[in-house]
Amino acid sequence: MAHPAFTSASVALVTGGAAGIGLALAERFAAAGMAVVIADLADGLEAAAARLEAAGARAVLARKVDVADRAALSALEAEVAGAFGGTDILVNNAGIQPGSALFGDPGAWEAVLAVNLRGVIHGTQLFGPRMIERGRPGAIINTGSKQGITTPPGDPAYNVAKAGVKAFTEALAHELRLGAGAHLTAHLLIPGFVYTGLTARGRSEKPAGAWTADELADFAMARWQAGDFYILCPDNDVPRALDEKRIAWAAGDLIENRPALSRWHPDFAAAFEAFVSGD
């Protein structure tokens, strides 16, 4: 059954919408005949807008906006309200991943937290109130990451930001369903390995294990329409069953008082492999 906001009368706004996952999702909204707004700092906004028009969008608005800049996002919210009356579907998707180290460049930490976490908070806090006041069916979809759930070693700033997005979106879902925003739904999009400009890292061809942004968008839209809060996406290497095992093991570190990140601890390697295989 379709989400009640999935109609041609809706207005969808996607941050990070000029390419990758954001553009793929925006194209699905455009194909439904919605008015679509994309915000991004990346090159390619005009080309992305043309793709949305070709996909069937009722109207397209493309703006160069830094989601870390609360004032800029506030101005965009006002512009969208003036042009279309407000927003019905908000996808807080903009993200960066420059890499980080625990005791590394503090600038990298600040940039990742500003975009990946505070950008989601800004977007929700600035667009959400009018979405509630409008009283129309709607949705807020925030892009998280499996790295924000199992927090693997290697990029702590990204993990911290995405863990924050998970906690924030869970709180959002709870508050909406109990208050004046009950006509809105909240969703946490949790991509698997998706080949985009963010994940290419110098590669010119999609790795066999990765999904395309279009595959991710099709899966995410189906699960959103089905009412999932946690839109946990597989890929060509990792099926849902393996994701579930990894997530359960990570939670088990706390419950069983194992060392932090025991999945990567040499003393627990064999136990983790047995847990995954069911032995």
pLDDT tens string 24-50:
999 999 999 999 999 999 999 999 999
Whole-angstrom Cα distance, residue 46 to residue 28?
Answer: 18
- What whole-number distance in Å separates Cα of residue 134 and Cα of residue 181? 10
Provide CATH 3.40.50.720 ranges for the chain: 11-238
Residues annotated as part of the active site: 158
Find the range with the poorest average confidence among 33-42, 153-162, 193-202, 253-262: 193-202
pLDDT at 186 over 80: yes
The mean pLDDT value for 111-132 works out to 98
pTM over 0.85: yes
For residues 17 and 206, the model is more confident at 17
Q: Which CATH number fits domain 11-238: 3.20.20.105, 3.40.50.720, 3.20.20.70, 3.30.1330.30?
A: 3.40.50.720
Which residues have a Cβ under 8 Å from the Cβ of 65 and sit 6 or more positions away?
A: 15, 39, 40, 41, 72, 73, 76
pLDDT band at 197 (very low <50, low <70, confident <90, very high): confident
Span 199-222, mean pLDDT? 90
Mean pLDDT for 243-262 is 98
Retrieve residue 42's tokens.
Answer: 């990346």
Residue 199 has pLDDT above 90, yes or no: no
Q: What percent of the chain has pLDDT over 90?
A: 94
The pLDDT of residue 133 is: 97
Encode pLDDT of 67-104 as tens digits.
999 999 999 999 999 999 999 999 999 999 999 999 99
Please, which pLDDT band fits residue 252 given cuts at 50, 70 and 90? very high
Rounded distance between C-alpha atoms, residue 123 and residue 94, angstroms? 10
